[in-house]
A and B are shown apart, each in its own frame.
Chain A
Amino acid sequence: MTGELQFRDVTIGYDRHPAVHHLSGAVEGGALLAVVGPNGAGKSTLFKGIAGAIPLLAGSIGRGGARARDIAYLPQIAEIDRSFPISVYDMVAMGLWKTVGLFGGIDTASRQRVREAIAAVGLTGFEQRAIATLSGGQMQRVLFARLLLQDARTILLDEPFNSIDSRTATDLLALVRRWHDEKRTVLAALHDIDLVRDNFPQTLLLAREPVAWGRTADVLTPQNLLKARQMCEAFDEQAATCAAPLAG
């Protein structure tokens, strides 16, 4: 089984310091995988690496024949400039990038798709609102609408349920389940362990290096969680050069 995503000794980081260190393994097509770990565990970095937003320091990622650009990616909401003067409609319509690119026009059918995506996340009537006027939960709905338009086989969600109300979380979780039912591959970086246990069949526990990976119940044991926390506290400014041979 090659899998939808294949990590071959992947190391990703900044300024030679690895944020994700020697990750190997495969995510099967149609998997619903939670990526869990303490702050600084490398969850966001891993997602950026998969989405092609930052280069790998070593190793390679197989994407089941797809390109990095075919993968839909939801960035952390904190990384978005929400003061930028842009409307909900335009923000969602960015999800059409693959078809319209730099210059392409948005035809009637696409306009209809944008409206449907906005309706699907319950924001009908907000189309012309500036994103600066939205609440955190509404903003997250906008980003999910954009994902709907991207219509990708693999979807990466970086902390999609942070600082949003429970009703929004429930609505968005329903979308995640729908994607799972449609056999799409979904990876979500999450902090809420209970939410993971209730909704995600598989979990990768990450602390720069993979601590455990498999069925959620097997992965999220107290021992593993403790181990993950301890590993993350070991970041060293003076770290020696990693001795592991580079993957060929």
Chain B
Amino acid sequence: MHEHAHEIAGAVSDEAFRRSLAAIIILALSAPPVGVFLMLRRMSLIGDAMSHAILPGAALGYLVSGLSVVAMTIGGLAAGLVIAVLAGLVARATELKEDASFAVFLLVSLALGVVLVTANGMNAEELMHFLFGETATSVDDEKLLMIAGNATVSTLVLAAIYRPLVLDCVDPNFLRSVSGAGVMAHLAFLVLLVINLISGFHALGTLLGVGMMIIPATVARFWTRDITTMIAVAVVAGAIAGVGGLWASAHADLPVGAGVILAAGLLYVASIILGPVGGVLWKLFPGRHLEA
């Protein structure tokens, strides 16, 4: 035990580890709230699809200037936005539903990404980093600033579109009857989704980055029936999974993405069992019924 404490203290005093720690906590502040809305809008899998959709863009950025944070961010952002807008437009202009439309774009763009990545000789180790996140000490200042900048934009924009976003989920026709803000809110939300995926991708890899958005949100669903509390719980869950996972992956020399998402998965399992809103234990042992 004493040895462990010593080890943690050692890790925290390491500057590279501290940067990763800061990055994951910032990510936990910005991504889970977006994930809560993704879940409530029944778009969880669309988030997953989008995370694949940014792959060819990031790969293009890699082609142009190697593992450069800015190039890969711009590429991923562009690809994500193009796919989001295209899929949204196809769904609105044709009979195809939005999820089916996203699924098609996801598959095509993933295939395109694979072609781009392999055709240009990314080596196996780089590809592993690209897909699953690097080691715990790999967040440099540039990445940290990118993640922090994205988080700032994400949090401010989410606050700005909060009301129409909530209304668009609960009662879309009422929103349309009082305001035209619904369309704007939906589009802004897709942009937030993309920039958080980019952050997630820098911190956790392209395949697992979306997990920091979705898993804390589903965890929170088991603990409260109030949207504000749900967002707070999701942020806390994200931070716990982030810090725990980061520490575990530093300890075992694993990719950060895998460590963090596994930690989040543990929280999810615990919530399924213990969560007061629909958790298994509360269903098995509901206690005596109340007066009213």
For A90-125 the 0/1 string (1 means CB < 8 A from B) is 010010011001110000000000000000000000
Contact, CB under 8 Å: A94 / B176: no
Contact, CB under 8 Å: B170 / A102: no
Q: How far is the CB of B230 from chain A (nearest CB, A)?
A: 6
Is B174 on the interface with A (CB-CB < 8 A)? yes
Is A87 on the interface with B (CB-CB < 8 A)? yes
Residues in A with CB closer than 8 Å to B170 are 80-81, 84, 86, 91, 131
Partner of A73, one of B160, B173, B181, B224: B173
Write the residues of chain A forming the contact surface with B, with a CB cutoff of 8 angstroms: 48, 51-54, 68-69, 71, 73, 75, 79-81, 84-87, 91, 94, 97-98, 101-103, 130-133, 146
Is B177 on the interface with A (CB-CB < 8 A)? yes
Partner of A94, one of B40, B160, B167, B169: B167
Contact, CB under 8 Å: A130 / B225: yes
Contact, CB under 8 Å: A132 / B225: yes
Residues in B with CB closer than 8 Å to A53 are 173, 176-177
Is B125 on the interface with A (CB-CB < 8 A)? no
Residues in A with CB closer than 8 Å to B227 are 84-86
For B160-189 the 0/1 string (1 means CB < 8 A from A) is 110110110111111011110100000000
Contact, CB under 8 Å: A102 / B40: no
Q: How far is the CB of B61 from chain A (nearest CB, A)?
A: 35
Is B3 on the interface with A (CB-CB < 8 A)? no
Contact, CB under 8 Å: B169 / A84: yes
Q: Count of B residues near A, CB < 8 Å?
A: 24
Residues in B with CB closer than 8 Å to A84 are 40, 166, 169-170, 227
> Taking A69-B178, A130-B226, A132-B225 as contacts, is the C-beta distance between A85 and B173 under 8 angstroms?
no
Q: Quick one: closest A residue to B224, CB to CB?
A: A85
Q: How many contacting A-B pairs (Cβ < 8 A)?
A: 71
Q: In the bound complex, how far is the Cα of B179 from the Cα of A94, in angstroms?
A: 12
Residues in B with CB closer than 8 Å to A68 are 177
Q: How far is the CB of B179 from chain A (nearest CB, A)?
A: 6
Partner of B164, one of A48, A71, A102: A102
Contact, CB under 8 Å: A48 / B173: yes
> Taking A69-B179, A102-B164, A102-B181 as contacts, is the C-beta distance between A85 and B174 under 8 angstroms?
no
Partner of A85, one of B172, B179, B225: B225
Contact, CB under 8 Å: A69 / B177: yes
Contact, CB under 8 Å: A75 / B166: no
Residues in B with CB closer than 8 Å to A102 are 160-161, 163-164, 181
Q: In the bound complex, how far is the Cα of B226 from the Cα of A87, in angstroms?
A: 7
Q: In the bound complex, how far is the Cα of B171 from the Cα of A48, in angstroms?
A: 13
The contact sample of 24 A-B pairs, CB cut-off 8 A, is: A48-B173, A53-B173, A54-B176, A75-B173, A75-B174, A79-B172, A80-B170, A81-B170, A81-B171, A84-B169, A85-B225, A86-B166, A87-B226, A91-B170, A94-B171, A94-B178, A97-B179, A101-B179, A102-B161, A102-B163, A102-B164, A130-B225, A131-B170, A132-B225
Q: How far is the CB of A132 from chain B (nearest CB, A)?
A: 6
> Taking A94-B171, A102-B164 as contacts, is the C-beta distance between A52 and B176 under 8 angstroms?
yes
Q: Quick one: closest B residue to A91, CB to CB?
A: B170
Q: How far is the CB of A119 from chain B (nearest CB, A)?
A: 19
Q: Quick one: closest A residue to B225, CB to CB?
A: A130
Q: How far is the CB of B188 from chain A (nearest CB, A)?
A: 12
Going nearest first, the 9 A-B pairs with the smallest beta carbon separation are: A53-B176, A130-B225, A51-B177, A73-B177, A75-B173, A84-B170, A97-B178, A85-B227, A85-B225
Q: In the bound complex, how far is the Cα of B163 from the Cα of A58, in angstroms?
A: 32
Contact, CB under 8 Å: B181 / A85: no
> Taking A79-B171, A85-B225 as contacts, is the C-beta distance between A71 and B177 under 8 angstroms?
yes
Contact, CB under 8 Å: B169 / A51: no
Residues in B with CB closer than 8 Å to A101 are 179
Taking CB atoms and an 8 Å cut-off, the chain B residues in 124-182 that contact chain A are 160-161, 163-164, 166-167, 169-174, 176-179, 181
Contact, CB under 8 Å: A98 / B40: no
Q: How far is the CB of B122 from chain A (nearest CB, A)?
A: 43
Taking CB atoms and an 8 Å cut-off, the chain B residues in 260-286 that contact chain A are none
Taking CB atoms and an 8 Å cut-off, the chain B residues in 74-100 that contact chain A are none
Partner of B177, one of A52, A86, A91, A131: A52
Residues in B with CB closer than 8 Å to A87 are 226
